Structure 1
Amino acid sequence: MLETRTHDVTGVSPAAGPADADAALQALVERDLAPLTARIDREGLYPEDFLREAGRLGAFNRHLASQNASGTTDIASAIRATEVISAECMTTGFVAWCQNACAWYVENSASDTLKREALPRLANAEALGATALSNPMKWFANIEDLKLSAERVDGGYVVSGALPWVSNLGEDHYFGAIFRTTGTNPRPVMALINCSDPGFSLTPCPEFTALEGSRTFGCHFDRVFVPDEHVLADALPEYIRRIRPGFVLLQMGMGLGLIDGCIQTMREANETLAHVNGYLDDQVGELEEALEDGRSACYALSETPFDESERFFADVLQMRLTGSELSLRASQSALLHAGARGYLANAAAQRKLRESYFVAIVTPAIKHLRKELARIHAH
């Protein structure tokens, strides 16, 4: 874990515009993140110091109307911040999305306690957070069973079960989880969990081929008490319909940023190999055009994140699917442009190829997206 720096970060004033905020974040990426990218990827270094400084710059409050200076739910700006990070290091972009998603849950919850005590700290990264919705999203899509169950007790719930992997976790990190109650009227309930809660424990995961710096653990609940004040939603279907477009749209920062980074890798390769790279299928200009088209469509969808219609959600899922497919295409092209140099252990090209497969398999994965789109279009 990195030590927290004591020097000031060149920040932006609360009245600064999005372009100024993006520029400040870009400067932070170049200064503090870029020198660590190879270690994050190869050694599993967790970029905690960077996350906290990015939070102080406002990177994680842009989509939270109650926490930012504009008082608006600016999903597009939050996506852009994740793009800036992911273009350099998508492991860090992924945990940035985890942070955004966790705050998104609290922002849209009915818990005044969590909005007062947890949300401001999540918004500025004083507290770090995660999303444990991979299993529930697959449960909603009839792909797998829900892994957490809970007994109703006086003042809350007692939760038991295990989740195989949840990212961006630590000893006192928060995450949103869904469990099903037992008894005569079983129903799903969503709550905010703290890793320091009694009965909760983290276990190491097997080593992954990428994203090792994302602090991913198995989560074990041994009769963990969750007070009513920490419940995000009891009427869960209505809550999920409200948060799901934003949840998926916020993921787009990973793919869009990765694609941008791949294009930069291609440009660098073309400084010496343009004469032969011209024979490859995908060229810089083609991918730049596809990226700009994707950005425009994504930002347009982000203007109405609370549209709960199935038609709108289908558009969001299709955008997410397109982002995954373009990420795979761009990363393959980046490696082919770089050639043998891109195959070196510390090369950006091979790292971005591995990162692109994560974009394609993280929930909702390509197969999950296609299954849901088929369901929606069948009605």
Structure 2
Amino acid sequence: MKLSEDIAGWLDTHAEALDRGTHASGDRNASDAPAELLSTLARAGLFRIGVPAARGGTGGTTTDAVLAIAATAAHSQAAGFVFWAQRVFIEYLLQSPNDVLAARWLPPLLDGTFAGATGLSNAMKYLGGIESLQTQLEPTPEGWIANGQVPWATNLVKNNFAVAVAADDNGSGRPGVYAIPHDAPGVTRSPDLDLVGLRGSSTASLRFTDARLAREYLLHDDAHDYLPRVRPAFLGMQCGLSIGLAQRSIAGARERGEAGRSILSDELDALAITLDEQTRLLSEGIESRVFETAPRGLFELRIGLVDTAIAATQLEVQARGGAGYMVGRDGGLARRWREASFLPIVTPSLVQLRTALAEARQRKVA
């Protein structure tokens, strides 16, 4: 997928501001790009891709959404990261039996006037046996009292968001999935986290202290049924971040090939072929729904795509040579290097995924 010239130009112009949370000049008050990001992506119709027309979208498949995130991330990982969070939260509503909540929240989510955050990283690790759930619920006549935390989540636009969280319901004895609005009593948002990059992504932590949650915010009462169905979109769209960065760095390296560095062309060709094959396998697995019951292939692709993105940035470093280490002459390479270093730690991190795969192999052997 290729973005329109208008949105691509806007992202290129503001990529540094979105990464640093500032204007490229360093004046923290000089750019409104982070505050405008959600509405800018919405005006381009990006959040509607892969959403059924009957529910306010433009149709298409989940793969179309993955490729749209990739096209955005090629210009700015911060923008791609926000796009991923918003679009995955939309997917949660599409997959939820709570049609009333979906009817209320889908319109503002699609037009970018309301932010959706995915606090389900903990839940995905829980599903893979990596860690326990970090939020507990006690039932009340009106709903639940929530206590717990989300260590970090992106797209927590101040005073204008909802976050999806999996929690243990101590009444039913089983975990469910809930959408917690920012203004629920007892919800506290931290200041934006002091990140190395992607600082314009409204990334913060949340704490729930006797937070009151009405029953209308239940997405699904059985996390074990719901999470495997949304995990392919969660991780698949996350893979779009790696695809976009790899595509941009391969293109950047090719641009410098004329500067006496054509020796890299064979490596770039091989890496591009690998990227195309990984993208094809990702699409096939998502659309066939095989990843819902056999997630191992999805985990392996997520790991492989991060490796491909990192390899692409390293080739771009070689292709740009000394100019890539000079401010104003690097063509955005320094930012892409920071972006590449972020990809392995996006939850679930590569270490967590590799651990889950190793334990699965061990169980099979045993």
The verdict on a shared fold, with TM-score over 0.5 as the criterion, is yes
Distance 1:316 1:123 in 2: 27
What TM-score does the superposition give when structure 2 sets the normalisation length? 0.88
Quote the residue 1:141 is aligned against: 128
Deviates further, 41-50 or 254-263: 41-50
Distance 2:325 2:185 in 1: 46
Task: Give the drift of 1:268.
Answer: 2.7
Q: Contact 1:245/1:306 (CA < 8 Å) preserved in 2? A: no
Distance 1:305 1:127 in 2: 29
- Picking from 95, 100, 123, the partner of 2:87 is 100
CA gap of 1:307–1:269, structure 2 versus 1, over 3 A, is closer
2:200 is the counterpart of 1:213: yes
Segments of structure 1 that go 5 or more residues without pairing to the other structure are 1-21
SS for the counterpart of 2:4 is helix
The residue type paired with residue 361 of structure 1 is I
SS for the counterpart of 2:47 is coil
Task: Give the drift of 1:162.
Answer: 2.1
CA gap of 1:372–1:68, structure 2 versus 1, over 3 A, is farther
Identity of aligned residues (%): 27
- Picking from 162, 166, 174, the partner of 2:149 is 162
Cα shift readout 1:252-306 (whole Å, capped 9, x = no counterpart):
211110001101221232232xx2462x597332222222222222222232247
Aligned length: 350
CA gap of 1:319–1:159, structure 2 versus 1, over 3 A, is same
- Picking from 156, 170, 181, the partner of 1:194 is 181
Quote the residue 2:4 is aligned against: 26
2:62 is the counterpart of 1:75: yes
Cα shift readout 1:183-226 (whole Å, capped 9, x = no counterpart):
5x532121111112222121125422222111111112122211
Q: Contact 1:176/1:192 (CA < 8 Å) preserved in 2? A: yes
- Picking from 322, 339, 343, the partner of 1:340 is 322
SS for the counterpart of 1:118 is helix
Quote the residue 1:352 is aligned against: 336
Quote the residue 1:179 is aligned against: 167
CA gap of 1:349–1:70, structure 2 versus 1, over 3 A, is closer
Segments of structure 2 that go 5 or more residues without pairing to the other structure are 23-30
CA gap of 1:281–1:266, structure 2 versus 1, over 3 A, is closer
What TM-score does the superposition give when structure 1 sets the normalisation length? 0.85
Distance 1:232 1:319 in 2: 28
2:15 is the counterpart of 1:37: yes
Quote the residue 1:298 is aligned against: 282
Task: Give the drift of 1:324.
Answer: 1.1
CA gap of 1:144–1:245, structure 2 versus 1, over 3 A, is same
Q: Contact 1:32/1:50 (CA < 8 Å) preserved in 2? A: no
Quote the residue 1:3 is aligned against: none
Quote the residue 2:27 is aligned against: none
